[in-house]
Amino acid sequence: MSGIQKRLITAIDTADFSSARELAAAVTPHSGLIKLGLEFFLRNGPQGLTVAGRAPVFLDLKLHDIPNTVAGAVRALLPLGVRMLTVHAGGGAAMVAAAREAAEPAGATRPLVLAVTVLTSLDAAALQSTGVDGAVSAQVLRLGRLALDAGADGLVCSAHEIAALRDAFGGRPILVVPGIRPEGSAVGDQARVMTPQAAVQAGADYIVVGRPITGAGDPGFAAAGIAAAIA
C-alpha cells in the first residue's frame, strides 16, 4: 500500500469551490485522501486543489490520449503534489508507460499512477455495445495486466473484480474501488456496486465513496461511520 493508513477516499462530487472546501474539511479526519475529479478541476483549475487543505489528493482525471500528450499532462500535474492520478488502461501500454515515466522525476513524492479498467457504470451489456465481447471480469483482467506490465502502480476496478485481480496479481497492485454503496444507499448511475465492508474484505486497498457521504445531512458523521465500519 502507499503508506496512507485510512482506506476511505471521499469523492468531492461538486464543482462549487466553497461547498467542496466545507465538505473536505468535514470528512478529512476520517479519509485517507480527498478525490477531486474532472468536473471540479475544469471549473476551478489547479488552484482549486487547495480545497483539500493538508489532506492528500487523488486527482481523478482519467487521462486518455496519445502517449506524448498524456506524458505532457502528467508533467504539468507534478507541481501540484497530488498523491494519486488516473489514466485509462484502454489507452494502451505505451500510454500507461509514458504516464509512469513522466511521473518519475518527482522521485519519492511522485503521484501513484492508477489505471482505470472498466468503469463501474458499465455492465456486460453496456460493454458489449462498445465492441467488447465476453465477461466484464475478463476485460478487467486483460486491461489490468496490460497496465501493470506497463508500469502502473495500481488499478481502479469495481469490487466485483477484486478477487480475480488478487488471484492473478496477488498483493502487487494497489486496488482502488469506486462504486461503493453502504446498505440502503441508492445505487444511482452505478452498475457494479458493493458495500464498504464487503469490498475491503474482498481485498480492496482503498474504497471511494461520494454521494452517500457528500449527500448526507452530516457528511463528517457519514464518513466517520464508513471509516469505522472498515477499520
Q: How far apart are CA 114 and CA 12, in angstroms?
A: 18
Sign of CA dihedral 91, 59, 48, 43: positive
Q: How far apart are CA 9 and CA 34, in angstroms?
A: 6
Side chain identity, residue 107: G
Q: How far apart are CA 147 and CA 59, in angstroms?
A: 18
Q: How far apart are CA 36 and CA 20, in angstroms?
A: 9
Contact criterion met (CB below 8 Å) for 191 and 126: yes
Residue 157 in grid coordinates:
476496478
Report the first-to-last Cα separation within the chain, whole angstroms.
15
Q: How far apart are CA 135 and CA 122, in angstroms?
A: 11
Which residues make beta-bridge pairs with 116? 88, 156
Confirm whether 62 is a catalytic residue: yes
Chain-centre distance of CA 8, in angstroms? Answer: 11
From 22, 44, 62, 198, the catalytic residue: 62
Residues taking part in catalysis: 62
